[in-house]
Amino acid sequence: MQALTTRRRLLETSGMGFGALALNLMAGRDTVSAAEQHLAHRMATAKSIIWCFMEGGPSHLDLVDPKPLLNELAGKPLPSSFREPITAMGERGAPLMAAPRTWTQHGESGMWASEWIPHIATCMDDIAVIRSCWTNGINHAGGVCQMNTCINFAGRPSLGAWVNYGLGSANDNLPSFVVICDSNGRPVNGTRNWGSGFMPATYQGVQLAGGSDEPISNLNSPKGYSSERQSTKLDLLHQFNKNYAAARPQQSELDARLHSYELAFRMQAQAPVAVDLQSETAETQHLYGMDEKETEIFGRNCLLARRMVERGVRFVQLYSGTGSKWDSHSAIEANHSRLCKSMDKPVAGLIKDLKQRGLLDETLVIWGGEFGRTPMSEKGDGRDHNPTGFSIFMAGGGVTGGQAIGATDDLGLYAVDDKMHVHDIHASILGLMGLDNMQLTYNHKGRPERPTINEGVFNRKLTASSDTFQK
């Protein structure tokens, strides 16, 4: 395997840094694109990622991991053969609660899905469900942090930042890493979820306004404001920033600010086209559910994500239930019914749209939250956090669909077969993008830092034949 050798790395180690590149760009000098500067570690099967993040923790037991025994034992205590878990709310001895779902097998693969996701169910032949996920984050702050950064406390770069650092942008006129929430609020931990940690701030995600007719604010110049006038102001700003940066070469936040100004200038040419959803046909808008009240917002965000990766954006993260709305300590029936309705058709529309455009093979779609829910009840009609066993699913990007990987126990409490920790999930995602989690390094305080903290294994079943795996 060949180590990453990049012009950016050379500049960083020689003391110039990415800020110098940004200054050069603003001065109009020629540079090679970020994509041309980077070399992958292995053959990639995916060029871009769309991560549909269900913030709050969706119930795997009610969506993609059927447990008949749970319904048989509903109302009874957890059998003594099961180790009593430590729960986020500290409730002990709660009875098991049924998952009163209607389960149906779908497609040629015969994969199971509940009635809460009827649209996603039609895509099961393209989906690999990982039923054996686990994490260390027992609460939302730690769980969301770990699912984004591979560790359950703040300070490390997000997965999107590592992808941005490792591969660069395939389009110099758009951000390489984009985040879109489904409300005006922010997920738990806020911008740290897409931050760059100890790496330069240029690698962090750029947040767009989700569900809005104007995803990028102030993109167009004010009326009567000529490009010449704008260019003159930018030249003056560039000179101020250049002088300031010269005295502060280690300030990565300034690098990011310089980069953002320069990127914003270039985006004025291409971004209006990228975010123009009305240019899509009525049929396509219907596919994403943009013509229905319940699905309009997340449908817009999913369609925007497709248009972004179509134009070279590497990593798009879409938040569903922003503000931990998938959390269902009580009234899970009403909570999950509403949220599933809001995202089911858009996610299925995204997979189908990518497939019919020939983009699914090179676009990895990920669905899941920070953890699952317990088989025991909480407050009689809810479920507590379950970090010890839950499900996510992947589609496209070289992933073999129509298979279930791993398993939880008969009640869905603990991952037991082919367990995949978040480290393994991230290692697998990076591997599909052509990056080796042990070879991708960033020197911080004299030591090589890796995206999965020296752990994590690529699960080769993701790209293997589905014939031998459970359904």
Of 196, 307, 304, 211, which is closest to residue 260 (Cα–Cα)?
A: 196
| β pairing state of 447-449 and 442-444 | antiparallel
Residue 467's CB is within 10 A of a number of other CB atoms, namely 9
| DSSP H stretches of helix in 59-176 | 68-72, 118-121, 140-149, 159-167
* CA distances to 141, 174, 265, 269, 283 from 272, in Å: 35, 11, 12, 7, 22
Q: What is the predicted pLDDT for the residue at 244?
A: 80
Q: What is the predicted pLDDT for the residue at 471?
A: 58
Phi, psi of 222 (to 5 degrees): -60, 150
CA pseudo-torsion sign 357, 38, 316, 396 = positive
pLDDT in tens, 118-153: 999 999 999 999 999 999 999 999 999 999 999 999
User: For the chain, how big is the Rg over CA atoms in Å?
Assistant: 23
**What is d(CA 136, CA 134) in angstroms, rounded to the nearest whole number?**
7
124 versus 23: the higher-pLDDT residue is: 124
**What is d(CA 296, CA 382) in angstroms, rounded to the nearest whole number?**
27
4 versus 128: the higher-pLDDT residue is: 128
**What is d(CA 452, CA 445) in angstroms, rounded to the nearest whole number?**
18
Of 45, 60, 126, 50, which is closest to residue 392 (Cα–Cα)?
A: 60
Question: What mean pLDDT is predicted for residues 287-306?
Answer: 97
Least confident piece of the model among 55-64, 234-243, 299-308: 234-243
**What is d(CA 415, CA 385) in angstroms, rounded to the nearest whole number?**
14
pLDDT in tens, 399-437: 999 999 999 999 999 999 999 999 999 999 999 999 999
Q: Report the Cα–Cα distance between both ends of the chain, in Å, rounded.
A: 35
**What is d(CA 22, CA 28) in angstroms, rounded to the nearest whole number?**
10
320 versus 184: the higher-pLDDT residue is: 320
Place of tokens 């939250």: 369
Judge residue 334's burial from the number of C-beta atoms within 10 Å of its C-beta, 0-12 exposed, 13-18 middle, 19 or more buried.
exposed
Q: Is the pLDDT of residue 340 over 50?
A: yes
Place of tokens 């738990």: 188
**What is d(CA 118, CA 46) in angstroms, rounded to the nearest whole number?**
27
| β pairing state of 48-54 and 363-368 | parallel
**What is d(CA 372, CA 89) in angstroms, rounded to the nearest whole number?**
14
**Confidence (pTM):** 0.86
